[in-house]
Amino acid sequence: MTGLDVGTTKVCALIGQADQDSRLRILGVGSSPSHGLRKGIVVDIERTVQSIQQSISKAEQMAGVAVRDVFVGIAGAHIISQNSKAMIEIANPLRGVSTRDIDRVLDRVKQIPIPPDRQIIGVIPQEFICNDQGGYENPETVACSKLEVRAHLVLAAVTAVQNLLRCVGQAGCRTNAVLLEAIASATAILSDSEKDLGALLLDVGGGTTDIALYSDGSIKYSGVVPYAGDNITNDIAHALKVSRFDAENIKKKYGCANPDQVDPKETFDVAGVFQSKRMCVSRRTLAEVIAARCEEIFDLVQRQIETTLQRPKVFSGVVLTGGTALIPGLSDMAERFFNLPVKIGVPQGMQGMASVVASPIYSTGVGLLIHGLNTHATTSMGNGGSFRRILKMLSSIIDL
């Protein structure tokens, strides 16, 4: 399987497979700078195609396999979500719920009014309800006359999705599925216990901060805030009067999101755009610039959740991931802001080149791989189940 994380600052391709113990084995990793996206949305198809081709080529060389089908991550301020529910009648209650019944109720839950410029890209069941008894994760074979589902729907702008798919196609690949990047990251990072207790995952990347809120074992909200690491870089560039290139390097080398952790006497030299000689800058001043933007991002996240959810305080901890999560002091700042435990989330439990991708930078790519492998396993099990049912039917005919 191949996961393709098409981000604002980088395009990352990961190739993996399931080993004999069903654990993910990383075979190849490829990354290239992304110049064709802005805030998670494709603005230059040609340059995006080139970035995709470069990242996939690097991953192919490392893995020694050719890539054809990919699972693609998507983000952007156009992403919205809503929770929905639907119900169907079971024709033969004593037979039990079939996979076809599950497919029918999942199709029914998508039948909601949708603006013409939007499309549903994800349907995630929260729980199934059999004869008013809820809490089922998989209701197959359960005897009931009425099957309901509560589901989380992810909607995206049609044009944004089509432009992304067009880039993947022109790069020589076929898209198996498009998955919201926050959900992909949560798949790679959050444990079942964290999802059950309640966790707010923030994937702070370059162009966007992707949100996934889990409670009682299922996703309750997902969304995107169009501010992230690039905005911090821009703030540094304007505050210090340096180029964006230098601002990015300064952020990575001297950046800190918690001014209290920085010695007020510590300084560094930078080359200003409008000055011929190098300037001496206080590292604490830099930290204050970074902290102000990070606090604004957290505030926008909190407002978005409070505006959407009836019970916004359904989470017990915060998990930060994405490239910007590597800024020192960010977890301490988030802890003070949300007044909750905070940790930096990284993909774990992998084989092969696990150490290479054990970083917040690769959370989305690993999550896309896991999603692809789970989809493949589910399909295989479904096909196997159908085959076993056919054998059982033939055996009964022979016995007659």
| 100-106 average pLDDT score | 94
For residue 386, name the pLDDT band (cuts at 50, 70, 90): very low
Q: How many structural domains is the chain composed of?
A: 1
- Residues of the domain holding 91: 80-156
Average pLDDT over residues 42-65: 94
Its pTM stands at 0.88
Q: Tell me if 126 is assigned to some domain.
A: yes
Non-local CB neighbours of 316 within 8 Å, separated by 6+ positions:
197, 198, 199, 340, 341
Round to whole Å and give the CA distance between 333 and 344. Answer: 12
Long-range contacts (CB closer than 8 Å, 24 or more residues apart) made by 281-287: 281/240, 283/254, 283/256, 284/259, 285/239, 286/236, 286/239, 286/240, 286/250, 286/254, 286/255, 286/256, 287/255, 287/256, 287/257, 287/258, 287/259, 287/261, 287/262, 287/329
Residue 101 included in any domain:
yes
Residue 91 included in any domain: yes
Q: What is the C-alpha radius of gyration for the chain, rounded to an integer number of angstroms?
A: 23
| Res. 380: pLDDT tops 60 | no
Determine the average pLDDT of the residues in 355-374: 90
User: pLDDT tens for residues 225-239?
Assistant: 999 999 999 999 999
Q: Within its chain, how far is the Cα of 214 from the centroid? A: 13
Return the pLDDT at 18: 84
Q: Ramachandran region of residue 311, left (φ > 0), alpha (ψ -120 to 50) or beta?
A: beta
Please report whether residue 104 resides in a domain: yes
pLDDT band, very low/low/confident/very high, at 28 (cuts 50, 70, 90): very high
Q: Would 131 be classed as within a structural domain?
A: yes
61-70, 148-157, 382-391: the lowest-pLDDT one: 382-391
Confidence of residue 398 (pLDDT cuts 50, 70, 90): very low
Instruction: Supply the CATH number for residue 126's domain.
Output: 3.30.1490.110
Is 201's pLDDT higher than 90? yes
pLDDT of 92 reads: 86
Cα–Cα distance, 44 to 47 (Å, whole number): 6
Kindly state whether residue 125 falls inside one of the protein's structural domains. yes
* 363 domain-assigned: no
In-domain check, residue 115:
yes
Q: What is the pLDDT of residue 377?
A: 64
Alpha carbon distance 12, 31 (integer Å): 4
